[in-house]
Amino acid sequence: MSHLIPVSDTAEVQPAGAVAAAELQESVRVRRHLPWWRLLLRDKFATASVVWFVILLAFVFLGPLFLSDKATAVNLAARNAPPGFSHGFLNILGADPLGRPLLPRLMVGARNTLAIAFSSVICALVLGSFLGMIAGYVGGIIGNLIMRLADVISSFPSLLLALIVLYILEPHVMNLVLVLAITRTSIYLRVTRAEVLEIRERAFVDASRALGGGAPHILRRHIAPLVAPTLGTIVTVDFAAVMLAESALSFLGIGIQPPEITWGLMVAQGRNYLTQAWWLAFVPGAAIMLTTLSANLISSWLRIINDPAQRWRLEISRKEAKP
């Protein structure tokens, strides 16, 4: 790959002539035209991850329409049915000790698992970026107080924090979302604060202030758009982390309570039948793993396309790379 020269380095390597500059302009212009989905297709792992998420979303939105009654339908003839076609298409992934088919249960569980993770991440994002902007832009005593609070929260293991809160409050969906959001807030807070501290010193912020722009206006119009891409990358990693945390809590029996279903709870329930029906614990766990892995892969793709020093790796196709 040594003959590939990143766009940012070209200017140093070549003599600064008009021709070179024109070439540089040309190449930059051409490369900017690559739409995001072409960049996505260049990364096979990220593409597969997006496909998996599309399938999941189809599960989440279409599954409950047809299958929610099937997920709780008891059929003693299919008790602990192994994966396969012997008990019909719905039992393709097997059935649980009450003969409830695993596939529809997995779909209903997907809705709960994803909804909890999604709402927690959004809550943490909103709360964290808001507090981070205050801490970064306003600073002072309030900023210090916010940062110390974030220190206390983040220096304590998230699962223990969740354990305490869910022990004190009821293990209800709202409380679960709340506690997961609180444990993740400090990441957004720190990143937002660090970025705001740097951006607020730039000339265009000064200009806006000189023109009479107030703090809310500057934060919304000038600072927020620049912080957003960084936060977007964190959101995808965090989605995976929150999903793992929720699954672990549900697995331990202090998260979502039956008869609701989440993937973590399904693993916990399947654990009791490990020797008779291994698929009950294995399949939902595999679903968790595929989803968290996909989120992490998408995040690393996002990190590459948002990084000017690395973006060229995806912009130059393999054909171009081998002249």
Partner 1 sequence: MLRYIGKRALQSAVGLSVLIIAVFFLARLTGDPAKLLLPINADQALIDEFRAREGLDRPVIEQFGVYVWNVMHGDFGTSLRRHRPALDMVLEAYPVTLQLAFTAMALVLVSASLVGSVAAYRPGSAVDRTVTVSSLISASVPDFWVAISAILLFAVTLQWLPTSGYGSDIRFWLLPLGVLVLRPFGMLVQVVRASMIATLSSAFVRTARIKGMSEGRIIYVHALRNALLPIITVAADQTVGMINGLVIIETIFGFPGIGKLMIDAVMARDFPVVQASILVTAIAIFTLFILVDLAYVALDPRIRHR
Return residues touching partner 1 (CB under 8 A).
Answer: 1, 45, 148, 151-152, 155-160, 163-165, 167-170, 240, 244-245, 247-248, 251-254, 264, 267, 271, 274-275, 278, 281-282, 285-286, 288-289, 292-293, 295-297, 300
Alpha helices in 155-223 (DSSP H): 158-168, 173-199, 203-210, 215-218
Peptide bond into 15 cis (omega under 30): no
Q: Least distance to partner 1 from the beta carbon of 75, Å?
A: 25
CA distance 218 to 230: 19
Closer to partner 1 by CB, 5 or 20: give it.
5
Whole-number Å distance between alpha carbons of 101 and 83: 10
Which residue number, 223 or 297, has a Cβ lying nearer to partner 1? Answer: 297
- Residue 25's alpha-carbon distances to 18, 29, 314, in angstroms, are 10, 6, 19
Q: How far is the CB of 296 from partner 1 (least distance, A)?
A: 5
Nearer to partner 1, 145 or 228 (CB): 145
How near is the Cβ of 45 to partner 1 at its closest, in Å? 7
Decide whether 1 or 77 has the Cβ nearer to partner 1.
1
Three-state secondary structure call for residue 1: coil
Residue among 44 and 221 whose Cβ is closer to partner 1: 44
Asked if 107 and 59 touch (Cβ cutoff 8 Å), the reply is yes
Which of the 8 DSSP states describes residue 82? P
25 φψ region: left (φ > 0), alpha (ψ -120 to 50), beta (else): alpha
Please say which residue, 165 or 205, places its beta carbon nearer to partner 1. 165
Cβ 117 to partner 1 shortest distance, Å: 13
Q: Give CA–CA dist 26/124, Å, rounded.
A: 42
Instruction: Report residue 5 as tokens.
Output: 């020269």
In whole angstroms, the minimum distance from the beta carbon of 62 to partner 1 comes to 25
* Least CB distance to partner 1 at residue 255 (A): 12
- 221 or 271: whose CB is closer to partner 1? 271
C-alpha–C-alpha distance, residues 285 and 292, integer Å: 11
Least separation in angstroms between residue 155's CB and partner 1 is 6
For the chain, report the end-to-end CA distance as a whole number of angstroms.
12
To the nearest whole angstrom, how small is the minimum distance from the Cβ of residue 41 to partner 1? 18
Give the Cα-Cα-Cα angle 250, 255, 261 (nearest 5 degrees): 60
Q: Which is nearer to partner 1, 253 or 308 (CB)?
A: 253
Distance separating alpha carbons of residues 133 and 227, to the nearest angstrom: 10
